[in-house]
């Protein structure tokens, strides 16, 4: 077992599964080695296409992901998947089960699937998912799929690490707009109505298109809506074509690099924020805070501590 972070990094770059798995575990545990590993692999992340998949629970994200893996593998592409579940470790169980079953289906050495769940604080999860994507990119994967469960802020933060974001829904999900809350309409590059065999699929597509047009283009490109029946694999060819067109669009407009740059700046800011917090809250200041919590307002207390 390789424990030296430099050796581990080299092993990642050579594409060894166990090295990748170990590095992601280190990222999850905020192991100090993480820094050395990321510094080394960062030079090798290349131009891997990072695809985000998100949407409300129950819309078939795992099924779509499985189909995408198959489709990309047919083209000879190496694929990495990070499935992030920001829910609690407890409720995360079911998802992990799905993952393991999914992994079983892919004994293919050029497919790497990994679940990441919250360990205590949610704060670092988006950063950790982004770092895991870097590791997979450096290991030579052509495609990295970031899949999230749910529609909250952490999920949106995780999607920041993707070049192309696919937002999933199903026909007549109560009210499409309801299901599409929390900024999903804004972040999607491609919208997929899954379970297209269900009644109302066409209408959901039309509704979505209408809403997207109504709000105007939020992204840089027209956001298309696609009907897919992931279970049967129907519509997957169109989805793959859309994904590729979106990447081409990003490259043509210089946005592929611009997004990476913006993402990196954001990552530096998060790291510095975490550092400033750690540095600031020494034992003395924590004590001071505890002693000041009386009937003063939080602003007054903050000011006193800052002085």
Comparing CB distances to a second copy, the nearer of 18 and 304 is 304
Q: Please, which residues bridge with residue 121 across strands? A: 119
β-pairing, 190-193 vs 164-169, is parallel
Least Å distance between CB 241 and a second copy? 28
Nearer to a second copy by Cβ, of 88 and 206: the residue is 88
**Collapsing DSSP states into helix, strand and coil, what is residue 82?**
strand
CB-CB contact of 71 with 134 (8 Å)? no
Nearer to a second copy, 155 or 163 (CB): 155
- Residue 219 near residue 195 (C-beta atoms within 8 A): no
**CA–CA dist 211, 123 (Å, integer):** 32
Say if CB 151 and CB 182 are below 8 A apart.
Answer: yes
- H or E segment to which residue 144 belongs: strand 143-148
73 vs 260 by CB, closer to a second copy? 260
Which of 6/39 has CB closer to a second copy? 39
Q: Which is nearer to a second copy, 36 or 240 (CB)?
A: 36
Instruction: For the CB of residue 239, give the shortest distance to a second copy in the complex, in Å.
Output: 23
Q: Distance of alpha carbon 25 from its chain centroid, rounded?
A: 16
8 Å CB contact between 144 and 80:
yes
DSSP annotation of 44 = G
Q: Determine contact, residues 184/153, Cβ cutoff 8 Å.
A: no
Rounded CA separation 70/56 (Å): 23
Q: Which residue ranges make up the site for a second copy (CB under 8 A)? A: 35, 38-39, 42-43, 57-58, 86-88, 90-91, 94, 122, 149-155, 174-175, 177-183, 185-186, 215, 261, 264-265, 267-269, 271-273, 275-277, 280-281, 289-290, 292-293, 295-302, 305-306
- Minimum CB distance to a second copy smaller for 254 or for 298: 298
- Write down the least CB distance from residue 34 to a second copy, Å: 8
Q: Which of 230, 247, 228 is nearest to 238 (CA)?
A: 228
DSSP per-residue string spanning 179-223: HTTTTHHHH-SEEEE--TTSTTHHHHHHHHHHHHHHH---SSS--
**For residues 79 and 194, which CB has a smaller minimum distance to a second copy in the complex?**
194
For residue 248, the surrounding DSSP H or E stretch is helix 236-252
Q: State the minimum distance, in angstroms, from the CB of residue 130 to a second copy.
A: 9
Q: How distant, in Å, are the alpha carbons of 43, 285, 299 from that of 277?
A: 28, 11, 17
* Nearest residue (CB) to a second copy, 244 versus 286: 286
What DSSP character marks residue 234?
B
């Amino acid at each position: 077992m390789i424990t030296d972070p430099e050796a581990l990094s080299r092993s990642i770059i050579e594409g060894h599964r166990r090295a990748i798995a170990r590095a992601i575990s280190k990222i999850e545990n905020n192991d100090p080695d993480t820094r050395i590993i990321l510094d080394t692999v960062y030079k090798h992340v290349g131009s891997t296409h990072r695809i985000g998949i998100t949407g409300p629970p129950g819309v078939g994200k795992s099924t779509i992901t499985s189909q995408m893996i198959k489709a990309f593998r047919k083209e000879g592409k190496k694929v990495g998947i990070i499935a992030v579940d920001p829910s609690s470790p407890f409720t995360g169980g079911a998802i992990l089960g799905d993952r393991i079953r999914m992994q079983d289906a892919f004994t293919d050495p050029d497919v790497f699937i990994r679940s990441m769940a919250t360990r205590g604080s949610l704060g670092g999860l988006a950063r950790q998912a982004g770092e895991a994507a870097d590791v997979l990119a450096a290991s030579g994967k052509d495609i990295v799929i970031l899949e999230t469960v749910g529609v909250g802020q952490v999920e949106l933060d995780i999607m920041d690490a993707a070049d192309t974001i696919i937002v999933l829904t199903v026909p007549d999900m109560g009210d499409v707009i309801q299901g599409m809350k929390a900024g999903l309409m804004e972040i999607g590059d491609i919208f997929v109505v899954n379970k297209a065999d269900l009644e109302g699929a066409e209408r959901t597509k039309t509704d979505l298109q209408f809403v997207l047009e109504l709000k105007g283009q939020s992204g840089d490109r027209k956001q298309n809506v696609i009907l897919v029946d992931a279970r049967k694999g129907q519509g997957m060819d169109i989805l793959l074509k859309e994904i590729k067109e979106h990447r081409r669009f990003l490259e043509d407009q210089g946005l592929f690099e611009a997004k990476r740059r913006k993402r990196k700046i954001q990552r530096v800011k998060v790291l510095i924020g975490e550092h400033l917090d750690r540095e600031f809250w020494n034992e003395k200041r924590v004590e001071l805070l505890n002693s000041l919590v009386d009937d003063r307002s939080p602003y007054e207390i903050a000011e006193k501590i800052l002085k």
